[in-house]
Amino acid sequence: MPDDSSQIHAPAETILFVEDEALVRMDMAEFLRECGYRVHEAANAKEAIEALQSKFAVDLVFTDINLGEGMNGLELAGWTLSHRPGVKVVVTTGISQIELPPEVVEPLLAKPYTGRLLDRVKQALAKQAGDGS
């Protein structure tokens, strides 16, 4: 029987999932975990920034635009891109007409995103691996 211990498995990418609606956040975070990702959850931008300033690695921030009090998801995206270069950002919203700032390079993912979430996460992370950032 071959020895599988010689095979090196790349660690799963880490996603910071930022959503103020607890049930949506918990369900989608669990779904992403089942798909093999490490997922940290944040209910608002303040929690997200605390996580981004901590020592754990984050490959992708997935954030809703409407986050309740404080900074919104677009502001969080801008903060992330300026303070954590190389971290990809995917922004989502239920608002139909919204313009993204130019620094948010990923296209907006409209809600409801069930069925498209995994594809968008894979696309964003593939860009990170492929563009050398």
Tokens representing 93 are 């919203």
User: Token match 């130019």: residue?
Assistant: 102
Strands (E) located in 1-129: 14-18, 38-42, 60-64, 88-93, 109-110
Indicate the length of the chain as a whole number: 133
pTM beyond 0.85, yes or no:
no
Residue 15 DSSP symbol: E
Q: How many other C-beta atoms can be found within 10 angstroms of the C-beta atom of residue 95?
A: 11
pLDDT for the residue numbered 99: 61
pLDDT means per 10 residues, the chain with 133 residues, are 50 89 92 92 96 90 89 92 90 67 56 68 69 47
pLDDT for the residue numbered 115: 66
Contact 86, 58 (CB under 8 A): no
